[in-house]
Amino acid sequence: MEKHKVRATINGRQTEFLCYPHQSLLECLRDILGLTGAKEGCNDGNCGACSVLLDGRLVNSCLVLGVEVDGHSVTTIEGLADWRGLHPLQEAFIREDALQCGYCTPGMLMAAKALLDRTPNPNEQEIRTWLAGNLCRCTGYDKIVRAVHAAAAQMQEENNL
């Protein structure tokens, strides 16, 4: 089987890689590009641990083929913080203790970012609805919902300054 060349913007950088046509985006990120922040929990789109943004849209990277992202832009958990510091969502997850084992956390954060990109000031029901595609087995979601709320409030405040 022949490998295909894929050119994509990964976390803001032009990136080229070779992959088999059957390899998922998740496999390409983890096994070829060494971006192991996205996690495999089910490999069939039901847990959300592999959530990334594809052209700003939330996707399960296990359900996207690597070759499909040719010419597109992908943001993973590794692209959420930059050298200036953590994203307000990451800070809020730390402050509110919104994680335990941490395995769902990268996907949960990417899903939360996708929510706040569209709905900067979500209510509790909107947060719970949006995060329903991301399973967490440790926290019972309570502190995650609070952290997303807190991050939204902080980002609103910063925007108003």
Partner 1 sequence: MSEQYTVIGTRPPRVDAPAKVTGQAVFATDVVLPGMLHGKILRSPHAHARIRRLDTRRAEALPGVRAVVTAQDLPAARDITRRLGEGAINFKFMCDNTLASDKVLYVGHAVAAVAADEPHIAEQALDLIEVEYEPLPAVVDILQAIAAEAPLLHPTLHTRSLAGVSERPSNLAAHYQAIKGNPAQGFAQADVIVEREFRTQTVHQGYLEPHASVAFWGPDGIITIYTCTQGAFAVRDAVAELLQYPQAKIVVIPTEVGGAFGGKNTSYFDVVAALLSRQAGRPVRIVMSRAEVLQATGPSSGTVIRVKVGATCDGRLTAAQAELYYEAGAYPGSPVGSGMHVMFAPYDIPNGQLDGYDVLVNKPRISSYRAPGATPACFAAEAVMDELAEKLGLDPLEFRLRNCAREGTRNIDGSTHGHIGARQVIEAAQKHPHYTTPLEGANRGRGVAIGYWGNWGSISSCTIGVNADGTVNLLLGSVDVSGTRTSLAMQAAEVLGLPLDKVHPTVGNTAQVGYTEVSAGSRTTFATGQAVIRAAQAVIEQMRARAADLWNVPVEEVDFERGVFYTGHDDRQTMSFADLAAQLNQTGGPITGVGNLDAQNWGAGFGLHIADVEVDPETGQVNILRYTAIQDVGRAIHPTEVEGQIQGGAVQGIGWALWEGYRYDANGQMLNPTLLDYKMPTALDLPPIEAVLVQETYPHHPFGLRGVGETPIVPPPGALANAIYRATGARMSELPMTPEYILRQMKVL
| List of residues contacting partner 1 (CB under 8 A) | 20, 22, 30, 34-44, 46-47, 49, 76-78, 80-81, 86, 90, 93-95, 97, 99-106, 109, 124, 127-129, 131-145
Q: CB–CB of 133/81 below 8 Å?
A: no
Q: CB–CB of 85/139 below 8 Å?
A: no
Minimum CB separation of residue 96 from partner 1 in Å reads 8
Q: Specify the residue, 69 or 143, whose C-beta has the smaller distance to partner 1.
A: 143
Q: Specify the residue, 2 or 161, whose C-beta has the smaller distance to partner 1.
A: 2
Minimum CB separation of residue 15 from partner 1 in Å reads 17
Q: Specify the residue, 104 or 150, whose C-beta has the smaller distance to partner 1.
A: 104
Q: Specify the residue, 8 or 47, whose C-beta has the smaller distance to partner 1.
A: 47
Q: Specify the residue, 6 or 80, whose C-beta has the smaller distance to partner 1.
A: 80
Residue written as token pair 């980002």: 155
Q: Which residue in 73, 113, 74 sits closest to 90, CA to CA? A: 113
Minimum CB separation of residue 17 from partner 1 in Å reads 15
The helix or strand, by DSSP H or E, that contains position 127, with its residue range, turns out to be helix 124-130
The token duo for 33 is 């590009």
Q: Which amino acid is at 155?
A: M
Minimum CB separation of residue 158 from partner 1 in Å reads 19
Q: Which residue in 147, 67, 62, 58 sits closest to 99, CA to CA? A: 147
Q: What angle do CA 77, 82, 85 make, to 5 degrees?
A: 105
Minimum CB separation of residue 113 from partner 1 in Å reads 12
Number of residues that make up the chain: 161
> Mapping DSSP to helix (H, G, I), strand (E, B) and coil, where does residue 22 land?
coil
